[in-house]
Structure 1
């Protein structure tokens, strides 16, 4: 008889292929995927439109593109983590028995709808005001009424709001059946640590940004 061959350790590719399904079916990945996809798509569309509108003042060399993509990635991840913290707090506070229930569906849809509306409003405002977005943002904090009056004079508010409502509604309808996964939630300590971890990661990433993006009114050197 031939000696029984020893079992070889799994290769890196085999390990990745076997772990990918479990990663794909992770509770938090399935929960946060619709939010992240929407945030990235809205952000990419806004940056692409602003880059097209401001292309005459941009120096599209390789270094500029690398810095733009790097800053965009860091700022997008940091901003998304900050925005998703309230939803993570909600998941942490929700009793385990309510995960996947009707109440959870309603509240998650409400969170997602508000998330889409706020982000779509922000992207639309940045496109309409362009390099004046930071100015209007400060004005809204100091004097909302005056800032709104100034913005109405230079921007078509009604068509913009209708566009925001249409885009947000279409987004919610598109993802409505993907918001609440069937996977059971993790234990309470894991859910409680998720908002803390997201806050820490967002804070760390915010230090990695090297300045404003050109699409946000910043100027990048060569």
Structure 2
């Protein structure tokens, strides 16, 4: 026996000469086939080299390319959605479903006769402090800080913003809703203004009083 053979780890076992089942002792009959003949064999570590060699990362990816690509795509979508929701950038309708995510900057309205989402935000920012607006799915979320000290004053502010949103809708704005959050000294008020109500008011189908009533019923 060579030095390398002596140094290599191994052990002996008994193999059924009929079916090949292994056993630690020469203890016939075979549990599997009932054969009475066992043969002693020596098992060395090198016999398992091919079996225990782990596949490389490249091999795993190559064999599961479809799964890897799908997982990477899902992860990318999740990361992009998280960054957009945080206001890092805007994802504008990537799948043609009217879905957007991301911050809307405040822009002063111009004289072109069309009020955009950014210009709507600009109007709010010019009147009230601490404003922020973002796309979230098919709707807009708008928040600002109010100095109103009475419910009546706060209601007037909300109504004013609702009228501006109706103008935005009437000018072709496509947000399905405006979720408005007003932060006050002792809490916050939140209402959701539906596009259908805003469109009806912009078209003259309902009065401002009815429009206000629908807004505050949703709060």
TM-score normalised by the chain length of structure 2: 0.24
Larger radius of gyration: 2
Bigger RCO of structures 1 and 2 (CA < 8 A, at least 6 apart) = 1
